Amino acid sequence: MSRRYAVIAVAALISAGASISVLPRAARAAESSGEVCVAPKVAVPRLGDPAQWPAWVDQRIKDLQPMPQERKFDRIGWSRTVLGAEKLAKEYGRPIFLFTHDGRINTGRC
Amino acid sequence: MRAGPLSNDTVIDTLNRYFVPVFVSNEDYEKAGGASPQEKKEYSRLFDEFLEKKLPCGTVHVYLIDPDGHAIESMHVANASKTDKLMAMVRRCIDRLDIPSGGPLVKPRDTSVAPPGPAGSVVLHLVSRGENTGPQGGSWREFPAENWIVLSADQAQALLPSDKPTPGTSYEMNAATATKILKYFYPQSEDPTDSPWTKVDREALKATMLSVDHGTATARLEGSVQLQRNFYPGKYSPERMTATVLGFVQWQPQTHLITSFELVTDEAKKDNERYAVAVRMER
């Protein structure tokens, strides 16, 4: 899966010329980790020994971070504004895909 | 949409190859929203054109617009969230306009990033996960929620003891600063707004000094929070959350510069549903 995507990505980059060079951090990480999404447990008992709490906190924070598979949305080359999208659309003869929504789709607080 | 078609490899590839994708939050385009007047005017013009052409219109929609800025086709989220229906509309557009394939015109980037903060501020990144977050979680549970919390220099300093740090001593963390962090300790919900709907009923965050070594002070944080929050926007539908938390803060006593802040739920429940929240310092 990851090799296949890499081939597609390289082809896309080549066809894009010099305009694009790299995928964002999350997308790159997804490539290296594969597409299997195993959600972390929301409850993990704290260890009894306080000396182990710093390591427990570190690990819990790492485990709860958004996984690359949960950030595939970032593989899309989103324009930041409607006007910016219209400028690119006119220049390159492409249509615009506009998604309007309530809340914040990029942070999930919606 | 995000966990559905917008995470589908075919959709992602098609949007990057044939379209200029853009997403907008309606809040930014309301009267008090942060979009520029020119952006708001253009958004309004587009919306009016779709209406005039009697094409589907609404707040949560996909709109396809031709390279000259005119309405082509649109779809309500209930249909657009089905990958086959969205792809059918997108392919119709590609065929109709005979668009050549290319690469993305905008470099893909991380879309959840730390906001700028004033000098001396501390930026915290919070991640919240309800139980069963993932593809099996259904709406509002398909991916974790995030908040970026910016503490001003004064608020950040309120995390530290007023006296010289001495191992074994403890202090109550400034309530206002603790609340600024703990008020986001709730699982994913539909209401994206911060206030006035969130009500912190009770919070406590106590710091215990552990050590001062090599110019770095470390304190352990322990506490709890009880809060109420609406699940649905603009509708009184409070849910009650309770959580206990554990974490650590590190700083340089000489300069009062905070170098690390971590806080995570030990146990957290919304009614009988478990969730977890993790906070760490981004900068």
Q: How many domains does chain A have?
A: 1
Is A17 an interface residue toward B (CB < 8 Å)?
A: yes
User: DSSP character for A79?
Assistant: B
The answer to whether the CB atoms of A103 and B190 lie below 8 A apart is yes
Check B104 against A93: CB less than 8 A apart. no
Check CB contact of A64 with chain B, cutoff 8 Å: yes
Task: Please tell me the total number of residues recorded for chain A in this structure.
Answer: 110
Contact B106 A78 (CB under 8 A): yes
Query: Which chain B residues contact residue A31 at CB under 8 A?
Result: none
Q: How many CB pairs under 8 A join A and B?
A: 287
B175: closest CA of chain A, how far (Å) = 22
The residue that leads in pLDDT, B135 or B267, is B267
Q: Does B233 touch chain A (CB under 8 A)?
A: yes
A40 domain-assigned: yes
* Least-confidence region, from A57-61, B103-107, B164-168, B196-200: B196-200
Q: How many CB atoms lie within 10 A of CB B54?
A: 7
For the question of whether the overall pTM of this predicted structure is more than 0.90, the answer is no
Position B193 confidence tier, pLDDT thresholds 50, 70, 90 = low
Which structural domain range is residue A72 located in? 2-77
- Nearest by CB: A107 against B105, B146, B278: B146
Domain-located, residue A85: no
> DSSP secondary structure string, chain B?
-TTTGGG-HHHHHHHHHH-EEEEEEHHHHSTTSSS-HHHHHHHHHHHHHHHHTT----SSEEEEE-TTS-EEEEEEHHHHTSHHHHHHHHHHHHHHHTPPP---SS----SS-PPP--TT-EEEEEEEEETT-SGGG-TT-SS-EEEEEEEPHHHHHTTS-SSPP-TT-EEEPPHHHHHHHHTT-S---S----TTT-EEEEEEEEEEEEEEETTEEEEEEEEEEEEEEESSTTS--EEEEEEEEEEEEEEETTTTEEEEEEEEEEEEEETTEEEEEEEEE--
Q: Do the chains contact at A98 and B62, CB–CB below 8 Å?
A: yes
Q: Which of B20, B83, B208, B220 to mutate to test the interface with A (most CBs of A within 10 A)?
A: B20
Confirm whether A110 is domain-assigned: no
Domain residue ranges of chain B, discontinuous segments joined by +: 5-97, 122-281
Query: Cβ contacts (< 8 Å) between B63 and chain A: which residues?
Result: 96, 98-100
Q: Which tens digits make up the pLDDT trace of B44-77?
A: 999 999 999 999 999 999 999 999 999 999 999 9
Q: List pLDDT tens digits, range B119-129.
A: 899 999 999 99
Q: Which two tokens stand for residue A73?
A: 């949305």
pLDDT of residue A35: 59
For the complex shown, is ipTM > 0.95? Answer: no
Any idea of the CA torsion for A46, A48, A54, A59, to the nearest 10 degrees? -40
